[in-house]
């Protein structure tokens, strides 16, 4: 257990894991900000861990930057890279980690203000975090949408394509194209207006205008895309004024705007960071370093709560 810097660069009144446990007992509006580290114990790689992270694998495969896989311009230019690599982080689990169970316990005790998750694996819902208390800052694999016509499907519909490294195309676009192609021949007279949509023939050479179906993209936020408005609305208009404790768990806090959240909150609100590595670019009152499943178990124990989960050995 390591204590790091106070936000104002002076000694904090909160220093130890017992201080964190006391805060857990006392506080009623706990904001929990999470990242990929809370799912690694389930075998889902995070992005930036040195040897095991997804970005390292991407580099080993000869691609320059891991972040390129999730860049919206790259995706629209050529979705193959995403479809070749995304299988590794595809959420296909029917179980959640002890840290998810901890968040659920905070909720059950009536203390969870909001869980802001950067994760896209949707495991918070599986753990029973209420919709009203969950902000999926970067969207999730739960749904997917067509880049062309915005038609939305259940995310599972494109999982097989991702697993077999094939680009998934929009079935609605395909249907419209098929319908347009089988409808009666149009009059030969030159049309003055532009085609109403991408599926109608235009007047130019048909070979140039063969309509293509749109590519399906999971509704996760790529670099270059806006975050859901619910994120900003809830954070700025409600949570930042009422929060009394911030727990940040399993994230390197490298991606804005989530990385800005701790600094934006009032200075008197205690900030606790739980992760494997210390963080230097954001100031926390307390940093509890280690495997987050172990840390939250110990934190709960010191708060007098029993965290139960199949991955925690009995009698631990």
Residues with a known catalytic role:
138
118 forms part of the interface with ligand CNA (CB under 6 A): yes
Q: How far apart are CA 85 and CA 166, in angstroms?
A: 10
Determine the interface stretch with ligand CNA among 17-25, 40-48, 60-68, 201-209 (rule: CB under 6 A).
Answer: 40-48
Q: How far is the CB of 179 from ligand CNA (least distance, A)?
A: 37
Q: Crossing angle, helix 292-302 and helix 17-26, to 10 degrees?
A: 60
Query: Is 292 annotated among the ligand-binding residues?
Result: no
Q: Which stretch binds ligand CNA (CB under 6 A): 19-27, 39-47, 154-162, 297-305?
A: 39-47
From 11-19, 29-37, 142-150, 177-185, span contacting ligand CNA (CB under 6 A): 29-37
CA pair distance 198, 49, nearest whole angstrom = 43
Q: Does 124 bind ligand CNA (CB under 6 A)?
A: no
Give the one residue of 37, 155, 211, 213 binding ligand CNA; rule: CB under 6 A: 37
CB within 8 Å of 95: residues ≥ 6 apart: 42, 126, 310
Gap between the Cα atoms of 272 and 245, Å rounded: 8
- Asked if 47 is part of the footprint of ligand CNA (rule: CB under 6 A), the reply reads yes
The rounded distance, in Å, linking the Cα atoms of 51 and 97 is 21
Which of 277, 272, 278, 280 shows the shortest CA–CA distance to 302?
Answer: 272
Q: How many CB atoms lie within 10 A of CB 100?
A: 29
Q: How many residues touch ligand CNA (CB under 6 A)? A: 29
Annotated binding site for Zn(2+): 146, 149, 170, 173
Q: Give the interface with ligand CNA as residue ranges (CB under 6 A).
A: 35-37, 39-41, 44, 46-49, 53-54, 89, 118-121, 138, 250-252, 254-255, 275-277, 291-292
């Amino acid at each position: 257990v390591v204590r790091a810097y106070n936000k104002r660069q002076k000694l904090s009144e909160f220093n130890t894991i017992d201080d964190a446990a006391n805060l857990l007992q006392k506080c009623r509006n706990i904001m929990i900000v999470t990242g990929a580290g809370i799912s690694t114990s389930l075998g889902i790689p995070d992005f930036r861990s040195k040897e095991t992270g997804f970005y390292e694998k991407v580099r080993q495969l000869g691609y320059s930057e891991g972040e390129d896989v999730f860049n919206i311009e790259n995706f629209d230019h050529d979705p193959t890279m995403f479809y070749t690599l995304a299988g590794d982080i595809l959420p296909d689990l029917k179980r959640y980690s002890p840290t998810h169970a901890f968040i659920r316990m905070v909720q059950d005790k009536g203390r969870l203000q909001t869980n802001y998750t950067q994760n896209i694996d949707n495991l918070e819902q599986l753990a029973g975090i209420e919709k009203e208390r969950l902000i999926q800052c970067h969207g999730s694999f739960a749904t997917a949408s067509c880049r062309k016509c915005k038609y939305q499907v259940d995310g599972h519909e494109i999982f097989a394509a991702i697993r077999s490294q094939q680009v998934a195309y929009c079935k609605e676009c395909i249907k419209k194209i098929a319908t347009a192609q089988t409808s009666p021949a149009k009059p030969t007279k030159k049309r003055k207006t532009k085609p109403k949509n991408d599926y109608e023939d235009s007047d130019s050479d048909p070979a140039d205008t063969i309509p293509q179906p749109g590519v399906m993209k999971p509704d996760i936020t790529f670099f270059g895309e806006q975050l859901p408005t619910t994120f900003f609305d809830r954070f700025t208009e409600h949570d930042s004024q009422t929060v009394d404790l911030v727990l940040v768990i399993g994230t390197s806090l490298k991606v804005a705007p989530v990385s800005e959240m701790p600094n934006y909150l009032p200075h008197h609100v205690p900030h606790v960071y739980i992760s494997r590595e210390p963080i230097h670019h954001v100031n926390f009152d307390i940093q509890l370093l280690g495997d987050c499943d172990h840390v939250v178990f110990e934190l709960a124990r010191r708060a007098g709560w029993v965290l139960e989960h199949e991955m925690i050995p009995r009698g631990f």
